[in-house]
Structure 1
Amino acid sequence: MNDAIDTIWRAFLPAVIAASLLACLRVGLALLRPGNQNAVAPTINLDNLESEDSLADRIAESLLPSDFHAPTREYLPEPQISRLITAQSIIYQLNKFEDELATKLRGPSSDSYGGFMQYDCKYRTELAQWISLKAPKLFAIVVQCELDHIKFVLAMRLFRQHQFCDTKLPVANPSKHIDLFLTKIWSRHKLRNFYERQWRVLVPVFSPLQYNHDLDSDCIFPFDLIKSMPKAGAFSSVYRVRIHSEHQLHEGLGDVRPSHSIISQTITQLEGIADALTNLHNYRDGRRRSLSGNEGSFMVPTINVDQADIPVVPNVGADPYNEDELNTPNSVSIRHGDLKPENILRFTVEEDSSLGTLKIADMGLAKQHVLKTSDRNAKRLITNTRYGTQPYEAPETITAKYGLSRLYDIWSMGCITLEFIIWIIYGNEQLTSFYNQIAGGPQLPYQYYEIPDANEPTHAEVHRVVLKWIDHIETQDPEFSQDSALKDLLALVRDKLLVVRLPASSVSSRSGGRTLAPPALGGASQFRATAEEFRDALRDILARTKHDTYLFSDYSLPPLKDWQFPVDNRFAEQVASRISNTAFNPQHKKTHNLCNRCRSLKFWTGGFSIDDYVSSLLVSAQNCDFCTLLRDARREDDSQATDQIRFERKESNLLLTGDPFPVLSIVRVLEARLTRHFQIGFPELPEPSTPAFFSILNTWLDDCNANHRDLKNKNRDCTGVTKMRLPTRLIDVGTIEAPRLRLVETQAAKLDKSNEYIALSHPWGDTRKYIPFRTLRSDPRSHHDVSSFKNVIPEGELPATFRDAVICSRKLGIKYLWIDSICIIQGEDGDFTDEAKYMEDVFSNAYCVLAASRAYDQRGGFLGQRKQRNYVTFESESGEPFFVCEPIDNFNKDVIQGALNKRGWVLQERALARRTIYFTETQTYFECGCGVRCETMAKMHNGMADFLGDPRFPEKAMRDDSRALKIEYFQGLYKQYSRLNFTRYEDRPFAIAGLERRLRDAFDTKGGFGIFDDGDRTQLDNGMFHRSLLWKRGEDDIQETLDGKDPVVEWLEPIDFTSERNIQVPSWSWMAYKGAIDYMDPPYGTADWETKEIIPPWTQGRRARDYPALLDRDIGLEVIVRDFNDRERTTASDGRRAQCVVVARSKEPKDERQKRIFVLLVTATQISGMGPKLYKRAGVGVMLGRFVTLQGDGLSARVL
């Protein structure tokens, strides 16, 4: 019956359509007849229509193209599924059922919908729970099919009823599952949609745990096709593709901590590989020639040699590189030729957690030689197979004229070993960063050497990026500040492996071999080592690994992090909804000149890059606006830069290859198709003080209020305040409609229920050059006193910075404002000392902080005009405009390294604030616990910057279990703070008091004045008290003399704490002095801390103080003072002779006289009379025990 009806309908359908079209045509013609005076063109009012932000739209926006397929197909990356299909989004989608059902029940067919009342809120909640656990991908597929809301719930109900979940996908033919896909719910069109769109979420994730994949022909691969010619074989073609990072899992590639075991095992295995190469390189007489005496280490199959082809060369003395041993019949040398990590296989034993055994594999490019390289050069015999894997190729692949030496393999091992060192110290993320930085131009995409001058193609040098990394590791990383296995291994790489120059016997000057450059770094080795030398050097390192501290000192910095710029268009859409859909269009239309190359660029394609030459750009930039941007974006300060240059697109930015920071930004308008993966943003920023500008600021705060309240993860909770102590005074700014300006006492005044206020962070500047606006206890002349300000603060007299803060507070809808110079009574009779105790509460409880980063003092202001950036307009193939702009999203430069953040007070203000709005010269930034947002609409994230952006400082820094890293963190924080500036240096103890108290709580210690007292946990806690005492003058404060010989060491200048500050800071605290500090740190695990001859005041039973002591001259260290053999008769700044206090002894298994002793240097201030012997700190030092008078009881004293 149904088939008959279907046949009739198909036959009748064309007539029905024709009749309908004819009727419409008649009506249209009637309306258009000249005689119809009443005809009015129909109008549609779109202003009242609201665009719905549906889940289907968000899924569509998150789809990525896979151009591996023809035509291009789209897929949803694996992480986006969990991001989009959440418990909240499932409930929200299911609850739309209720609104549609209510509409149906009011309609003419209400009776047929009465049975659906059973799917109430409780049922939908249960259904949502099942979907979240069992069927998130199935849910995402059905969302994309766009069923009406009632049918949607019914469809998911049937899936649950039949236990049809994600594990049952894919569905080969939905129409055959008649019990699941009812025709009343699923039309043929919808079924087709289901089948096609299921592949978007069923994209394979490749893992080492699954080698074989049986995939449907309709499966979408998460590949970006790299534009290169496919390699064709007899039965198939091989394409080069890039797999989406979230669709490939790597076993064992997580960041690991260095350990004695890993380092020892790795060096042992490297020694085994070097021994194998020694045998491979010195194969002789058809048998393995063992140079190591280890008969089981390596075997090489016999190689047949045609003796007629072997020339006899006179033996003229022994060749130290063993090349001359290839001068006799039946002597051959074998070069592997393709050493790389993939060709070093790891063999493990089941249930054995050790590294296992490493073995060289893939001898496919191994090459046998019956002549040493120099003789092949002399006879002009060219090695047939020259190239291995490009990243690990030695420079002689380009520079050698005729032959390749066996030392080619040694270069490859240098590359591999350096990668291991970077990985073991910094982890995968920094190793990836190293790869990205070393990548070269189109002809040298990734190699450890470079040709610096295109005019000398045979002159090679170690790549400058490699040299910079080696130099950084050696000079900056604490692990390399003492003797260690990794330090020696890095020196081996630098001096013997990654050496361009070969011995004369390998590349002969007599035969036209090129002269290769010696290494630029260190220069300790003239020539590259042989395999035998490589092996012997590793054996020397292994011989010293009996001591754990030589293997690893457990003193590594937290991993370095690059800034990340994730695309986040949902927030930009919120901004557009407040302003207008055209908000991101440039205000000033510009016409841009483009060359033919730039006009055809397709930025939206996967793996997009631009390859060029600097010399070419200098010419093309004269007539092309985009070439001008590219020219200006190149590294001007890199004097060693080659002529080749490459720009690569990463998300919505262009990066120079080898540089982790964007050099150009890409932004688009709201509506887009091909370019939807670009960041929506402003090519031209709104003018400050305009409604559009303040809409952005308000949206930042509203978004943070709505989405960053996470009680489970407090590090992401930017809004919650557990305790609320209001500042003593606030400024009442009124509202936009009813402005006012007066000072209120918070305890006496009746404030609004929310108690919300904004705090201003600003520079005072040089107050010797102007009179600052401030509140005084009494001011009969200007009436800037607390009593007058309670009545009214004259807004016309406010300096520009304060006036702008008032404007912002009103525009943000916050009635109260805190400014230090107004809300704290200044002057000698002021209450700064009392108020400074609560500075932590002022900034941590503020609704937000306004940071006047661009202001130079109170008069500077921060809402002034800003220079607009340059940009070039492009259009996609579908006519969508997008813009490539100068990069101004540089939080590190504009904020962290800006003038305001060089002020001592600002470090604490930033760390304690829940969220801060920074007003800089280029743009405005918003920082909270979830990262940094830019006014351009870009989003920035950096793991290290997160520490000070932590709304619950220092919880993020305390996540790591390593006490050593926590010590390094507080030392780094204090070193940074000590380098900041103060208008009044007597503020130094106060401006960090809040941070110090939080750190003490986090460390569970007592202490004060920059010193932590860990009590009887000293040995367990790596000597936190003792390490914090061993501060010294900062290295950057030591000036070199003009002749470059002896440094000029200036004494740290004591701070004169005025009576107004009412404090006394002990001499053993760095807070008592001006200037930068560093720390004299014994390597971790190498020191025995002295606990009897130096006792902190808190361990003595004294009360731990939260703030600097009030004139407490008895805050002293109980110490034993000893003499030391001082041939130079060291004296302190006051001329007194120095003595010492023992802080630590090295754990070396030596006599006490041979151990290193870490000491405080002290000088006497009171040693006569019956009272206590009093000393003050004069410095720190380290000396051998034989120079310290360790015998006897010493002198009991106090260091104040």
Structure 2
Amino acid sequence: MVATPWTLLRFLDECENAEKKNSSDEAFISTTTIKLLTSKECVSDILKERNCPNQDVLKKRIYDRRCPAKIIFLILARADMLDRIGEFLSNDFSDHHLPIEVLWTREGYKLKRAKDIDWTTAPFGAGIHYRDVDYFTQKQWPFLAPIFKREFEYVLQQGIPLPLVEKGNAIVSGFSSVSKIKMHHAHVPEQIEHSMAMKKMELESEDQIKYVNKEMTNVKSLRLLDHDHLVKAILACTRGKQALFFFPWAKGGDLYNFLKSNSNEGMAAIIWMLDQMVGLCSALSLLADKGYRHGDLKPANILLFPEKSGSYRLKITDVGLSKLHILATSRRLNGTTAKATTRRYSPPEFDLLFDDDGEPVEDSDDIKLSRKFDVWSLGCVFIEFLIWAKLGRQKYKEFDRSMKRDRRFWDSGRKDLDDKVKERIQNLEDAVEETPGDKVVQRVLELALKQMLLVDSDDRSSASDIHKELESIRDSYSECFQPKDELDLPLGLTTEQDAESDHLQQENDLSGANDGMDQNEPEPSSTQDEGLHTKAVPSGHTAAMVEQQSAKLLNQWTVNPDNEFAKKFFSETSSPSPADGSRLCDSCLKLYIWEPNATISGRMRDFQTLASTCDMCNLLYAISQRLGLEEDQELHCIRDGSTFKLKGRDGPPILSLFSDPGTFSLTILTILDPSKWDIQLCPLQKVLNGIVFFKSGSMFVIMNTAMHETHALAAVLSRCPLD
């Protein structure tokens, strides 16, 4: 088959289409397209179409390895200036000179490249009209997007586009902004994720430009530090008066928005919070040991990265930019409120940078600030974390509103904590009860007040000492946080009822009277350390058979529906019925999951896009994350009996289905009011963590988002372990 010959019109269409593929404000043509447009077929066809003289000589010159001119060819072709190509290529002008700035003088053209300080004589002759040279410089930029390799630091000339195929809305803070971006796959190494967070700093003064160069060395050095709670920069570059830093994208967002948007989960929230506090303080201790200070520690600079367990790990970002943070806050040029950008979490010694009128003092950038600067800021973060974990999201949001503008954690007039902070601390102290979780809250609160939030920095403990104290707190209550040796009693049962029913359960188990039970009993455990051990729980209140004696629970469950217990559970629980029905997109409304060969499929990126407006897509997005799927990868599962299995019937089960057509489903129908949709999701997953309920046709369905194989509703309600 004869290939379609290239024409200039086709060439121009390719260029335009390449730019349109990118949904960012960076107009560039990828190296993939450049390779296509500089193929020998394309170059030959276009030179021939434009009747360029000496075509063989030009092609040899274009492909010359020492002095290539492929990009020059592309620029001239797109500018419709190929008739001047011979003049432009005179005197060894090549792609190595690009990008260029051109200045016209009486003596001829002067040229300056990105790394040049002085103007030099342009290699091409003076016979080219200045207008043509100026047009050439305008058309050069889209072809000059950098190809990032293994180096960390890059210097880009103003005007060079970044190879961004996607760019989200920017979140602006102070003199910087953060956007989610995706780079073209051909412009980054394979091992680097294409989706990243881009932090852009607008440098408005010579001081800021000077310190960027210094801080770049810090950021580069910090990449050598390995810590699970530190975010490493992937690459960095300067472009004119911009400093650009690229980090891994945190799918969970930042801690500030997390605390405002997520309800706490009682003991689970406290356990997770304490673990993360230990990790964050360990990271801060490592930084201090290496001689670094963060300088802008706050919830917005602590990011959430999902883990395979379904939880999140907190990581500190913007590490190594401390001088820029402080300089930006103290020497911002446009507006008097800018210095309050991050002052809520700044320690008292931050005021050394300002005079009595709030203006920056002379040589403020030379003032040495203690590494305990960050200890105060972390103490502020801990207080807010405790407010959320113990008092709840609403109280945290109220506190956040009260701290807006330039309000800080301390009152400089009285040299004491701010009244609003004291009020919330008193609320925390009043809410503490004699439970292990509350004792953790109390001890962390005391630690923050007595060792971190002290006006005199010399009185504060070091990050290392704080870390040891937090580890001690965690170790003191570790036994309380471990799974119990026996299951919690179902709601409404007394210990006496449990003992009485225990005997009945033994008889049922021995006689095999329960038809729904698995006939393959779990093997006895040889030691107490091999697995979770349970006591038999009352008959009529469990769906899974467990041994009376210690035994390692197997991942095999069967169903014994108990409608009376379910009615009792929903009548006695304090959780209110959902006010509004859940939301579903058009695609999810058309899912017929009750059909024998039903399938669910879609790309992770699509689930993510619809997650905020469709509860089903939100569930599938969470599952995709836990499976470790990339954005472009597809989740595909097929129904096999009571489960949906990944990639077909031989794959692992990731969703579970349960149906009881008896009176139990009528009870649920009354609670969930599923009349609005064929599939109705219920927000009860907030009550039973990891489990989603919904009505599908005549079935009442459970989706186990924790990806365990516990399929029975009664097993969930009687709190059998999801193992």
Higher Cα radius of gyration: 1
Q: Same fold (TM over 0.5)?
A: no
Task: Please identify which structure carries the higher helix content.
Answer: 2
TM-score, scaled relative to structure 2: 0.34
Q: Whose relative contact order is higher, 1 or 2, with alpha carbons under 8 Å and at least 6 apart?
A: 2
TM-score, scaled relative to structure 1: 0.23
